[in-house]
Structure 1
C-alpha cells in the first residue's frame, strides 16, 4: 500500500494538500547467480516504516517479511521489493534480478506481494488508496457517500489485475523454472469495533467506512487469487493472510499488527496503514507455515 497513503491522511488532518511521489527503481549489484530466495513486491514486502532500512530509496527494511522468512528457512535472499511498486514496477524488479544473475535455475523460492498500487495506472486522474482512505475518514471535505464511490472506482481500475498477476507469474517462471512461487494477498486494515476508530492525528473512521475498506481489500485479494489460478502452475501458491491477522487490525481486539498514522515529521511516518514489526513477523510466519504445508 502506497507510501503516499499515510502522508495524505496526515495532511488531510492538517488541511494541507499532498503530493504524489514516484516509485524509485530498485537496484541490484554483485549478487551471486541463482540466489535461493528472491522477493518481489511493494511496500508490504519492503517492510517500509520498520527501521533499520537496507535501502532508503525503496524503504526496504531489515525487518521485512522476506528477510525474516529467509532467516527462518535458512536461505540466502535477495529482495527488490520497493515502496509504491505496481505490477509494472515488479516486472522491472525482475529485470534487475535477471541482469544481476540473481534469479535462475538455482532459485528455490520466489515471493510476490503486489496489486493495490495498480489502482492509479488505468485512468487519469485516478483515485489511489490514499485518496480513498482520505475520503473515508472524518477529515474528508467530501460527502460521506464518496467513500463507497471511490472504493468502487478503485476496484474498477483493478479489473485487469488478474491478467497482470498471471503475466508476472509467467515471467518469473521463465527465469526460475524450478522455484516455488508464493503470491500473497493483503491483510485487512480494520478489526471489529463499534463507534469510531481513531488512527492518530485526529483522524477517525466509522464502522461503515471501515467495513467498506475491508470489503475492498477482500475484493482486491480475490482478483490476485484469480490471477494465480489462471496461471495454471502447480508450483504457484496464493496465500491468504487475512485469517492470520484476525484480531490484530486497527481498533481490533488484540495488539495492532497494522500501524495507524505516524507523525509526519517522524522517520517512520511511511509505516501508517502498513504492517508494523509484529505484522511483518506474522507475515513471515504465515508464509513459513504455507511452505511447510
Structure 2
C-alpha cells in the first residue's frame, strides 16, 4: 500500500529506478504470467467480433487547475501497478512502481493515495486476499470508505487467464513465424468458451463497481481500460514474435478485452479512460510504444507490460476524465 499527499504539480518524465536482482525478476515473471501454456486452447474468430475503437482522445500536457480530490484509491492489476518501471514501492510482491499512473495522478491532484493495485490480481481479489510471491495482500476494496473521493479501476484481464492467453499466443510465433500455431489450437468450442469468459468478466466488473459504490458512495469512479499491445498489421519479430497467421486472432483478443471494459463503464454510468483507443499509435511495434515488448528489463518494464511513457499517458487521461464537467 502506498499513502502520500503532495502539492499539485505538472506531470514530468519519471526517472528509472534501480535494477532489481535476477531472482526477484524470475519470481515476478513466474507469478504474473503463470498458466500461459495452458491457456492457449481458448477461443477463435475474435477479429470479426471485435468493435472498432473510437477516435484517439487528446492528451493534455499540463494540469493548470486540479479537481478537489483529497482521498484517492487505485484498484487494479499489473497494468496499473506497472511492474519494473521502477523499483517497487513496497515489498509485498505486488510490484507497484513508484511512477505508475496512480502515483502520478495523486501527485498532480495533491491527493492522498491508497494504491492497492497488484500484479496478477483478478476481479476476485477486489474482495478477497491475494497471494503473491512475497506473501498475502488484503482485498483491494478494503481501502475504500465513505471519505474516498476518487477510485480508479483497471482489472479483469487476469480472469480466466485471458491476458496470459494473449502473451502465450504472441510467443508461439518464435518457432513458427509464418504459420498460425495459436489459431490451430482454437476451434468453435474454444471460441464459445472465450465468449463466455469475456461475458463473465463483464458481469464481474459490473458487480465490482456496485461494491465500490456501496463502500464509497460519494466517490468518482473511473474505469481505466487496457492499452493496445498487439498492432493490427505491423510486424516486429524482435519485440513481438507473433506468427503471421495469428495476428488477427490475437489483436482481436486485445481489442475485445478493452471493449468489455468500455461497455461496462457505459452501462454502469461511470467514467471511462479508453486507453485502447488512445494507444492506437503506441502499440509494441510503434515508434513510441506505451507497452514493452518481449524482453523483461528491470528499471524499464516487465515483458508485455506498461512502459513509463504509457503510464504518463494514462495519468493524463485519468486527470482529463476526472476534470470533466
Q: Which residue of 1 aligns with 2:111?
A: 75
Does residue 238 of the first structure (1) align with residue 272 of the second (2)? yes
Answer 1 or 2: higher relative contact order, Cα 8 Å, separation at least 6. 2
Q: Which residue of 1 aligns with 2:208?
A: 168
Is the contact between residue 85 and residue 300 of structure 2 (CA under 8 Å) also seen in structure 1? no
Q: Structure 2 unaligned segments of length 5 or more: list them.
A: 1-27, 39-68, 130-136
Which aligned pairs between 1:1-293 and structure 2 lie closer than 5 A?
A: 3-4=29-30, 36-56=71-91, 57-92=93-128, 96=139, 102-120=143-161, 128-135=165-172, 137-139=173-175, 144-147=180-183, 149=186, 152=191, 154-191=194-231, 193-194=233-234, 196-200=235-239, 204-206=241-243, 208-231=245-268, 233=269, 236-252=270-286, 254-263=287-296, 267=298, 271-293=302-324
Q: Distance in 2 between matches of 1:129 and 1:205?
A: 10
Higher mean C-alpha displacement, 34-43 vs 126-135: 126-135
Q: Structure 1 unaligned segments of length 5 or more: list them.
A: 19-33
Q: CA RMSD in A?
A: 3.5
Relative to structure 1, the CA distance from residue 206 to residue 184 in structure 2 (aligned partners, 3 Å threshold; closer, same or farther) is same
Relative to structure 1, the CA distance from residue 4 to residue 154 in structure 2 (aligned partners, 3 Å threshold; closer, same or farther) is farther
Is the contact between residue 290 and residue 310 of structure 2 (CA under 8 Å) also seen in structure 1? yes
TM-score, structure 1 normalization = 0.74
Count of aligned pairs between the two proteins: 254
The SS at the match of 2:253 is helix
TM-score, structure 2 normalization = 0.67
